[in-house]
Amino acid sequence: MADGGEAAAPDGVQRLAAVCAHLEEIRADLREGPGGDGGPVERVLAAARNGGDVAGTLSVLHAVLQASGDPLGLDGYTDHTGSTRGLQPAGISNTGISNTRAEFVYLCPAGRCARYWWPQATAPVPQCAISSTVLRRERL
Ligand SMILES: [Zn+2]
């Protein structure tokens, strides 16, 4: 039987979020890799901006990252986005929003990826790598 793991179309928005949030790291890793250039990630950006084959370019990028020595590929970057804490909008409930929780979350302005960012007092709002605009503030 075919193994469905890698063959299934990956959830593109999750991997796109990794690109959106870690573009500079990914570019640096690609330049240091055997290919020596950021072509694979630039093609992902171009596809995302122009409505091209995002899933296809993402899986190429993923494979290139793996080939350059990172067995997790793009999924390794996804881990760093804090997906283990707080993606579940725990603050949104009928009982009201806790005072200690953020009232806003910042989302990808292009709406193309699953990136989100919690406000931090000491950090400026990051930019979306795909649309080159600041993340969009959304009320919880
Ligand atoms: Zn984005």
The CA distance from 128 to 21, in Å, is 7
**What pLDDT does 86 receive?**
38
**What pLDDT does 87 receive?**
41
For residue range 100-109, list pLDDT tens digits in order: 567 899 998 8
**What pLDDT does 113 receive?**
84
Q: Say how many Å lie between the CA of residue 1 and the centre of ligand 1.
A: 36
Regarding pTM above 0.85, the answer is: no
User: How much of the chain exceeds pLDDT 70, in percent?
Assistant: 75
Please say if the pLDDT value at position 81 is more than 80.
no
Q: Say how many Å lie between the CA of residue 82 and the centre of ligand 1.
A: 15
The CA distance from 127 to 135, in Å, is 6
* 116-133 average pLDDT score: 89
Q: Say how many Å lie between the CA of residue 114 and the centre of ligand 1.
A: 7
What residue ranges do the domains of the chain occupy?
Answer: 11-79
Q: Say how many Å lie between the CA of residue 95 and the centre of ligand 1.
A: 31
Q: Say how many Å lie between the CA of residue 28 and the centre of ligand 1.
A: 19
C-beta contacts of 128-136 below 8 A and 24+ residues apart: 128/20, 129/19, 129/20, 129/21, 129/23, 129/45, 130/16, 130/19, 130/20, 130/45, 130/48, 130/49, 131/49, 133/109, 134/109, 135/106, 135/107, 135/108, 135/109, 136/106, 136/107, 136/108, 136/109
Q: Say how many Å lie between the CA of residue 135 and the centre of ligand 1.
A: 8
The CA distance from 73 to 15, in Å, is 10
The answer to whether the beta carbons of residues 65 and 9 sit under 8 Å apart is: no
Mean of pLDDT over the chain: 79
Q: Say how many Å lie between the CA of residue 2 and the centre of ligand 1.
A: 33
**What pLDDT does 70 receive?**
86
Q: Say how many Å lie between the CA of residue 100 and the centre of ligand 1.
A: 27
Strand 136-139 and strand 116-117: the pairing is: unpaired
Going by pLDDT thresholds of 50, 70 and 90, the confidence category of residue 132 is confident
Quick one: how far is CA 65 from the chain centroid? 15
